[in-house]
């Protein structure tokens, strides 16, 4: 009975208690120690605990059942319209007047950067009243069999390119967030080089287009970290018992501490929001707060070769802004874009992608006329505020909406 009572008490604070229990059971502290643990006999133990915590938080689902449109609550249809071993193209739509000029198609390019795509749930909800939304949903590497082969940064580019072609680039709006900004701009540039129509618009939020100036703790570490060190201490193989057993990965439980260190105030904000919601009568607010914590903690494993390639290409050799990046043997040339409307948005307090990193795309897309470009810096906005929370709702989303429907 006592054990059941304790479990019930913990459930009241789920997922906070579960995360605390998991973190408290770790044999080491700090990212370096965790990385060292990944090569020790403790790896399977840590990995299993992490997977149990994620399972307890529930499956990483968007759970968007309806949205409000013109004063009406409209049901949302969700489906998968394309799929590879590494990524699903998930579609969201609601019933509306399809002849309306406001009904658009938006490809939301989610980053393969540790979090599940459902981290962008609020973005999808915001866009649905006037657009059909398609999301690149990357598969957890623990669930990808070794027979699927390796997966590098250029494979992300080629996957997005295939999705854009499937959706028809003409009239398509592409919205890329965080690390997805780099492969998204490359995919579009390569399609234009192959004489495909240009997308209607490209919106880039908080991404490392050129991380050479104004380094953040994460970009600074990525630029200086020896790849051999990251490979030796930060990667491992998926243990037995998972579909991806034997695949070399950068484990989710090693990524979580680095994100906490990058923006500790976000963790405090989520905690305060959750605790405040428990004392109120708004059950929806409580559910939203709990979902935010669950989303923030549900990290996925990434293919080891992908993270090593990303660190090399994006942060250390900065091949894109230097005009030296080749994908499948072809040079990426964003300067060819001339019809796509380009919007870049940064947060002044972004400690993941620094000031100027995203706006650098403006200098690469030299063929886009000045009247078809705009750069916005949101004062007081951190990285996560660019796609969720008060900053997203009050400033970022209105700017994105005006740009897409303009």
In a domain, 25, yes or no: yes
Q: How many angstroms separate the Cα of 65 from the Cα of each of 75, 218, 261? A: 6, 36, 34
Mean per-residue pLDDT for 133-143? 96
Residue 10: its pLDDT value, please? Answer: 37
Mean per-residue pLDDT for 133-155? 97
In a domain, 232, yes or no: no
Q: Are residues 287 and 382 in the same domain?
A: no
In this structure, what CATH number is given to the domain that contains residue 197? 3.40.50.1820
Q: Are residues 289 and 309 in the same domain?
A: no
Q: How many domains does the chain have?
A: 2
Q: Are residues 316 and 189 in the same domain?
A: yes
Q: Are residues 378 and 394 in the same domain?
A: yes
Residue 267: its pLDDT value, please? Answer: 58
Residue 210 has pLDDT above 50, yes or no: yes
Summarised one tens digit per residue, pLDDT across range 374-395 is: 999 999 999 989 999 899 999 9
In a domain, 100, yes or no: yes
Q: How confident is the model at residue 287 (pLDDT cuts 50, 70, 90)?
A: low
Q: Are residues 139 and 274 in the same domain?
A: no
Q: Are residues 364 and 279 in the same domain?
A: no
Q: Are residues 29 and 123 in the same domain?
A: no
In a domain, 230, yes or no: no
Residue 192 has pLDDT above 50, yes or no: yes
Structure tokens at 393: 């709702």
Summarised one tens digit per residue, pLDDT across range 145-186 is: 999 999 999 999 999 999 999 999 999 999 999 999 999 999
Summarised one tens digit per residue, pLDDT across range 350-371 is: 989 999 999 999 999 999 999 9
Residue 378: its pLDDT value, please? Answer: 98
For 145-243, where are the alpha helices, taking DSSP H only? 153-167, 181-193, 217-224, 227-234
As to burial, measured by CB atoms within 10 angstroms (0-12 exposed, 13-18 middle, 19+ buried), residue 370 is: exposed
- The SS3 of residue 205 is strand
> Among the listed ranges 38-52, 67-81, 238-252, 259-273, which one has the minimum average pLDDT value?
259-273
> Which residues on adjacent β-strands are paired with residue 73?
68
Residue 63: its pLDDT value, please? Answer: 87
Q: How confident is the model at residue 373 (pLDDT cuts 50, 70, 90)?
A: very high
In percent, the amount of the chain with pLDDT more than 70 equals 75
In a domain, 153, yes or no: yes
Contact (CB, 8 A) for 135 and 110: yes
Among the candidates 285, 300, 315, a domain finishes at 300
Q: Are residues 81 and 133 in the same domain?
A: yes
Q: Are residues 143 and 166 in the same domain?
A: yes
Q: Are residues 369 and 381 in the same domain?
A: yes
- For 212-240, b where at least 16 C-beta lie within 10 A, e where not — what string? beebbebbebbbeeeeeebbebbbbbbbe
Among the candidates 300, 331, 363, a domain finishes at 300
Q: How confident is the model at residue 128 (pLDDT cuts 50, 70, 90)?
A: very high
pTM, to two decimals = 0.83
In a domain, 155, yes or no: yes
Residue 218: its pLDDT value, please? Answer: 84
Q: Are residues 107 and 146 in the same domain?
A: yes
Q: Are residues 317 and 192 in the same domain?
A: yes
Summarised one tens digit per residue, pLDDT across range 234-250 is: 889 998 889 999 999 99
Domain that holds residue 21: 2-58+252-300
Residue 103 has pLDDT above 80, yes or no: no
């Amino acid at each position: 009975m006592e054990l059941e009572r304790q479990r019930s008490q913990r459930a009241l604070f789920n997922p906070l208690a579960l995360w605390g229990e998991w973190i408290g059971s770790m044999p080491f502290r700090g990212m370096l120690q965790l990385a060292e643990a990944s090569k020790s006999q403790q790896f399977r133990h840590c990995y299993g605990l992490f997977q149990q915590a994620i399972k307890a938080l529930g499956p990483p689902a968007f759970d968007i059942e309806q949205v409000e449109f013109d004063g009406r609550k409209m049901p949302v249809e969700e489906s998968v319209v394309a799929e590879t071993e590494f990524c699903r193209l998930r579609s969201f739509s609601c019933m509306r007047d399809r002849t309306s000029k406001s009904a658009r198609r938006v490809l939301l390019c989610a980053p393969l950067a540790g979090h599940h795509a459902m981290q962008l749930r609020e973005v999808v909800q915001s866009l649905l009243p006037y657009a059909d939304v398609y999301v690149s949903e990357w598969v957890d590497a623990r669930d990808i069999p070794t027979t699927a082969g390796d997966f590098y940064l250029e494979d992300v580019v080629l996957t997005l390119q295939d999705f854009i072609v499937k959706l028809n680039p003409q009239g398509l709006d592409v919205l890329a967030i965080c690390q997805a900004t780099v492969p998204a701009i490359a995919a579009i540039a390569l399609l234009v080089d192959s004489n495909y129509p240009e997308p209607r618009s490209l919106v880039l939020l908080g991404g490392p287009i050129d991380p050479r100036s104004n380094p953040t703790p994460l970009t600074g570490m990525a630029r200086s970290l020896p790849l051999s060190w990251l490979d030796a201490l930060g990667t491992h193989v998926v243990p037995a018992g998972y579909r991806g057993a034997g695949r070399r990965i950068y484990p989710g439980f090693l990524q979580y501490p680095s994100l906490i260190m990058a923006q500790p105030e976000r963790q405090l904000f989520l905690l305060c929001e959750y605790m405040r919601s428990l004392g109120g009568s708004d059950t929806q607010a409580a559910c939203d707060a709990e979902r935010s914590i669950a989303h923030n903690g549900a990290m996925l494993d990434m293919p080891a070769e992908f993270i090593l390639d990303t660190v090399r290409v994006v942060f250390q050799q900065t091949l894109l802004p230097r005009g030296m990046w080749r994908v499948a043997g072809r040079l990426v040339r964003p300067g060819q874009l001339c019809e796509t409307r380009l919007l870049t948005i940064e947060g002044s307090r972004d400690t993941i992608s620094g000031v100027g990193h995203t706006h650098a795309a403006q200098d690469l897309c030299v063929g886009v006329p000045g009247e078809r470009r705009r750069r916005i810096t949101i004062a007081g906005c951190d990285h996560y505020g660019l796609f969720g929370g008060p900053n997203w709702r009050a400033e970022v989303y209105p700017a994105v909406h005006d740009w897409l429907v303009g």
